[in-house]
Amino acid sequence: MKRFPYIPHTEEDIKEMMNVIGINDIKELYKDVPKLFEGDLNIPESKSEIEVKRELKELAGRNIDLDEYAMFRGAGIYKHYIPSAVYQLATKRNFITAYTPYQAEVSQGTLQALYEFQTAICELTGMEVANSSMYDGGTAVAEAILMASRVNKKHKSLVAKSLHPEYIEVSRTYTESQGLEIELINYDEKTGRIDLEELKNKIDENTSSVVISYPNFFGVVENIKQIKEILPENVLLIVNAYPLSLGLLEAPGKLGADIVVGEGQSLGNHMSFGGPTFGFFASKQKYIRQMPGRIIGETVDEEGKRGFVMVLQTREQHIRRAKATSNICSNHALMAVVASVYLSIVGREGLREISYQNYQKAHYLAKKLIETEKFEPVFEGEFFNEFVVKPKFDLNKFNENLFEEKFIGPLNLGKFCDKLENHALFCATELNTKEEIDYLVSKVGEIDEITL
């Protein structure tokens, strides 16, 4: 009998167990299963740990490792510094190998960690309540649109065209089948901010929500307050926020947001090819019963001792079934806890400092690039750590040259929009050194010589 490291059964065990059941062959346990498949699956035979590790290492070796590259690309996933303690703590085995805290008494670790996560998200966003995570930023936006529509029973959402293009796609997928409408609002070509006139004109009695990104996909910081001011009272303002910017930018809640969501990857999570990431989701307290996802609350045990449990479960699919606020069951709790550990380590002042450095580094980079006169600024709107510039040369070729020097250059926005072909979305974070930035800029200086 072949042995497998994860299966403890010996031949002896199997025999004894079959005896208890009263069978002579395992096949008898499948006698009610139609014989449709005989023989072996067409997948490789089992391997040893040494072989598998080698194979995976070889596969991993066919990707570049961004630890070895200077990174100037963001667009939704960001390379930030992850303090050593974050993964050591968040990936303890009693966290990763536990499931949904169905038995609260033996899940206080999970429950308290997620409760602290909810607290951190409320603090960051300036909102009153938060859930304990969605799949990612895109699905969080989509669910926010659905939630707004449950709140005010209206069916149209006005979505800023400057929201991450993939979030727009996800939102369309989520809403279309439910008869909701999504209409895009252009950005002002000069500032890069949402076109307030167009927004004003498109609001009508069917408008349920307005969705903006803060900063937006072009890195430009929207003025939430101005937007809120033109919205009728029962139209909900949904803000998709980049959490690390919130050490510097005013909390969306303070500026009038009704629902604040976002992608949490930048809070201590690896890039890992875009997943798993997690979505955070916060709102005003009065909407709590329409909120999707799992929510943790504080309570006491029989002896009056503090403890935590899942609350408001009557909104959820396992109880409400077809009438649930959402179908989400497994969420991204572990990634949320990673973020909670990260925010605990970074702390109050650390967050401000990271935010500040991101701003400064990106602005230094932008200034230097413009000074070369080989890049034109594209938007006048103030930005955080990402910005768009238009090179007077072929961006893809430039990026190829940079790659040779272990630099990942900016994203070519042509990937998402023909009109923006050869426009560069640059990103700088606290990880980019002045030396790196200067070197990149010097490469721009050499451009005539490298004949692009």
Ligand X SMILES: Cc1ncc(COP(=O)(O)O)c(C=O)c1O
Separation between Cα atoms, residue 19 and residue 9, nearest integer Å: 15
Q: Where are the alpha helices (DSSP H) in 372-430?
A: 395-404
Using CB under 8 A as the binding rule, the residues of this chain from 342 to 371 that contact other proteins are 343-354, 356-357, 359-361, 363-364, 367
Separation between Cα atoms, residue 51 and residue 47, nearest integer Å: 6
**How many residues in the shown chain lie near ligand X by CB under 6 A?**
2
> Is 29 a residue that touches ligand X (CB under 6 A)?
no
Separation between Cα atoms, residue 333 and residue 400, nearest integer Å: 38
The CB-of-139 to ligand X minimum distance in angstroms stands at 12
8, 233, 404, 419: residue in contact with other proteins (rule CB under 8 A) = 8
32, 373, 404, 448: residue in contact with other proteins (rule CB under 8 A) = 32
Which positions from 34 to 63 touch other proteins by CB under 8 A, shown as an x/- string?
x-xx--xxxxxxxx-x-xxx-xxxxxxxxx
Using CB under 8 A as the binding rule, the residues of this chain from 238 to 257 that contact other proteins are 246-251, 254-255
**How does 73-100 read in b/e, with b if 16+ C-beta sit within 10 Å?**
bbbbbbbbebeeebbebbeeeebeeeee
Handedness of CA 408, 409, 410, 412 (dihedral sign): negative
- Residue 218 binding partner per list ligand X, other proteins, none, with a CB distance cut-off of 5 to 8 Å that depends on partner kind: none
Handedness of CA 340, 342, 343, 347 (dihedral sign): positive
Quote the crossing angle between the two packed helices 333-371 and 434-445, to the nearest 10°.
50
Look up residue 292 and give its amino acid: P
Using CB under 6 A as the binding rule, the residues of this chain from 328 to 387 that contact ligand X are 329-330
The CB-of-292 to other proteins minimum distance in angstroms stands at 10
**Under a CB-based contact definition with an 8 Å cutoff, are residues 294 and 352 in contact?**
no
The CB-of-330 to ligand X minimum distance in angstroms stands at 3
Query: Which residues are registered as beta bridge partners of 442?
Result: none
309, 370, 420, 452: residue in contact with other proteins (rule CB under 8 A) = 309
Nearer to ligand X, 6 or 102 (CB): 102
The CB-of-92 to other proteins minimum distance in angstroms stands at 4
Nearer to other proteins, 114 or 378 (CB): 114
Cα 9 to the center of its chain, rounded Å: 41
Nearer to ligand X, 291 or 388 (CB): 291
**Under a CB-based contact definition with an 8 Å cutoff, are residues 283 and 259 in contact?**
yes
- Residue 315 binding partner per list other proteins, ligand X, none, with a CB distance cut-off of 5 to 8 Å that depends on partner kind: none
Query: Which residues are registered as beta bridge partners of 71?
Result: 408
Q: Going by DSSP bridges, is the β-strand pair 207-214/156-160 parallel, antiparallel, or unpaired?
A: parallel
Token duo for residue 273? 């090819």
Using CB under 8 A as the binding rule, the residues of this chain from 398 to 417 that contact other proteins are 403, 408, 411, 415
Which positions from 319 to 338 touch ligand X by CB under 6 A, shown as an x/- string?
----------xx--------
Using CB under 6 A as the binding rule, the residues of this chain from 225 to 264 that contact ligand X are none
> Is 23 a residue that touches ligand X (CB under 6 A)?
no
> Is 417 a residue that touches ligand X (CB under 6 A)?
no
Q: Residues for the chain: how many in total?
A: 452
- Residue 270 binding partner per list other proteins, ligand X, none, with a CB distance cut-off of 5 to 8 Å that depends on partner kind: other proteins
Handedness of CA 394, 400, 401, 403 (dihedral sign): positive
Query: Which residues are registered as beta bridge partners of 309?
Result: 297
11, 153, 179, 233: residue in contact with other proteins (rule CB under 8 A) = 179
The CB-of-328 to ligand X minimum distance in angstroms stands at 7
70, 80, 120, 407: residue in contact with other proteins (rule CB under 8 A) = 120
157, 209, 216, 277: residue in contact with other proteins (rule CB under 8 A) = 277
Separation between Cα atoms, residue 345 and residue 192, nearest integer Å: 34
Token duo for residue 423? 């426009």
The CB-of-50 to other proteins minimum distance in angstroms stands at 10
Write out the residues near ligand X by the rule CB under 6 A: 329-330
